[in-house]
Amino acid sequence: MTTGEHEAPSIVEVQAERAYQVVIGRGLLGELPRLLGDTVQRVLIIHPAVLAASASAVREDLRSQGYQVFLAEVPEAEAGKSAEVAAFCWQVLGQADFTRSDAVVGLGGGATTDLAGFVAATWLRGIRVVQVPTTLLAMVDAAVGGKTGINTAEGKNLVGAFHSPAGVLCDLSTLETLPRFDVVAGLGEVIKCGFIADPRILELVEANAAALADLGSAPPQTWSVLRELIERSVRVKAGVVGADLREAGLREILNYGHTFGHAIEQVERYTWRHGAAVSVGMVFAAELARLAGRLSDEDVARHRSTLRAVGLPTTYRGDRWEQLLAAMRRDKKTRGDLLRFVVLDEIGRPGRLEGPDPALLAAAYAEVSHEAPTGVEL
């Protein structure tokens, strides 16, 4: 039994070409028709096999209200973010005569919501999509903000479109089946929102770290804390993307920890979870800021203690500098040859560090290095 069952859902408004709502709570199926809007007759629910039962429940609910509902079961995780899988979804839409006034529902983790958003963005040059994220990472990050995409053989997220959802439903009950490490990885992005914009997030995580990292045996009130954390993190992302729809500048702060984090993901050939790589990346960025005379020792220590408290890694092997540096230089967010990092001047006050001295980078790497692989592969 968890708390929050009967609480009214929280709503966060996100500014976009057309503003939309992120609804956070429990038992939210009844909210779906409102987010789908009046014109929709046909709905395609895109989901992975692990969420087949939830997809059927959504289908039955929508059918009872007169919608024509179709299901597209797609491969799990990154395997679903391919041109072939998108083409399969287009085929289903075509065969079911989906028009501009119909809609897609993306039900799953960030990989599925990225795919569903991309399919909706491209079908008839754009139809409505309502995202129903079922991982913590997708709730606080992937499903909000309108970036959609698929992978190619050459790399992740290389093909995509900006396409804001018509709405987002974050139903906490879906997180009950999420494996522990996926919850912990999602907490990495939550903690990131705390560091860049909302210190209250850090206090809540610090006070409830052990319970958040083990939701299966957590006391009921932990779910209320998790709900507040999701709401606060969504507000941080909504505030940033609302002011910067197409990633012109401000949105960059959401990449805190990501330059080094992406490099770890590449060097590890995506065997590390994103949130774990970003965790080490945030400590790297904090050390960089400290070495550049911008962030206090105390704030750097808080990075390590908060991330470690939920079980996220804060170090990486010390014998990979050349590969990491090469990966950072290849990062698509790098402009020209200049390496750019989001750094903090204090907690809640992000800034930029452009083209840092290579010696500074190497020194920050030394601070996050450990001698031998620990086997931590979150």
User: What amino acid positions are annotated as catalytic residues?
Assistant: 125, 147, 189, 237, 247, 251, 255, 258, 262, 274
Write phi, then psi, for 162 (nearest 5 degrees): -85, 120
Q: Per CB under 6 A, which region of 64-72, 91-99, 130-138, 194-202 contacts ligand NAD?
A: 130-138
CB of 49 to ligand NAD, least distance (A): 8
Residues of this chain, 178-207, that bind ligand NAD according to CB under 6 A:
178, 182
Residues of this chain, 49-88, that bind ligand NAD according to CB under 6 A:
50, 76-78, 81
Residues of this chain, 311-330, that bind ligand NAD according to CB under 6 A:
none
Pick between residue 51 and residue 361 the one whose CB is nearest to ligand NAD.
51
Buried residues in 111-123 as b, exposed as e (16+ CB within 10 A): bbbbbbbbbbbbb
SS3 145: coil
How far is Cα 148 from Cα 110, in angstroms, rounded to an integer? 10
Residues in contact with ligand NAD, total (CB under 6 A)? Answer: 27
CB of 141 to ligand NAD, least distance (A): 4
Pick between residue 175 and residue 291 the one whose CB is nearest to ligand NAD.
175
Looking at residue 250, the DSSP 8-state letter turns out to be G
CB of 71 to ligand NAD, least distance (A): 15
Contact status: 135 vs ligand NAD (CB under 6 A): yes
Pick between residue 150 and residue 343 the one whose CB is nearest to ligand NAD.
150
Q: Which of 58, 86, 116, 137 binds ligand NAD (CB under 6 A)?
A: 137
Binding pattern to ligand NAD, positions 237-276, x when CB under 6 A? -------------------------------------x--
Structure token digits, residue 50: 């692990």
CA R_g for the chain: 20
Which single residue is written with the structure tokens 């996100």?
14
Q: Per CB under 6 A, which region of 118-126, 174-182, 196-204, 291-299 contacts ligand NAD?
A: 174-182
How far is Cα 334 from Cα 43, in angstroms, rounded to an integer? 39
Pick between residue 114 and residue 198 the one whose CB is nearest to ligand NAD.
114
Contact status: 110 vs ligand NAD (CB under 6 A): yes
How far is Cα 275 from Cα 373, in angstroms, rounded to an integer? 18
Pick between residue 112 and residue 306 the one whose CB is nearest to ligand NAD.
112
How far is Cα 86 from Cα 100, in angstroms, rounded to an integer? 18
Cross-strand partners of 43:
69, 103
Pick between residue 277 and residue 344 the one whose CB is nearest to ligand NAD.
277
Residues 100, 170 contacting (CB under 8 angstroms): no
Binding pattern to ligand NAD, positions 12-51, x when CB under 6 A? ------------------------------------x-x-
Structure token digits, residue 260: 């080094």
Q: Which of 55, 58, 62, 114 binds ligand NAD (CB under 6 A)?
A: 114
**Residues in contact with 334: Cβ distance below 8 Å, sequence separation at least 6, in sequence order:** 259, 328, 340
Residue whose C-alpha is closest to residue 121's, from 161, 152, 73, 178? 161
Pick between residue 278 and residue 307 the one whose CB is nearest to ligand NAD.
278
Residues 333, 340 contacting (CB under 8 angstroms): yes
Structure token digits, residue 4: 């929050």
Q: Which of 26, 59, 128, 147 binds ligand NAD (CB under 6 A)?
A: 147
Contact status: 281 vs ligand NAD (CB under 6 A): no
Residues 46, 98 contacting (CB under 8 angstroms): no
Helix (H) or strand (E) holding 104: strand 103-108
How far is Cα 198 from Cα 76, in angstroms, rounded to an integer? 33
Residues making contact with ligand NAD (CB under 6 A): 48, 50, 76-78, 81, 108-112, 114, 134-135, 137-138, 141-142, 145, 147, 156-157, 174, 177-178, 182, 274
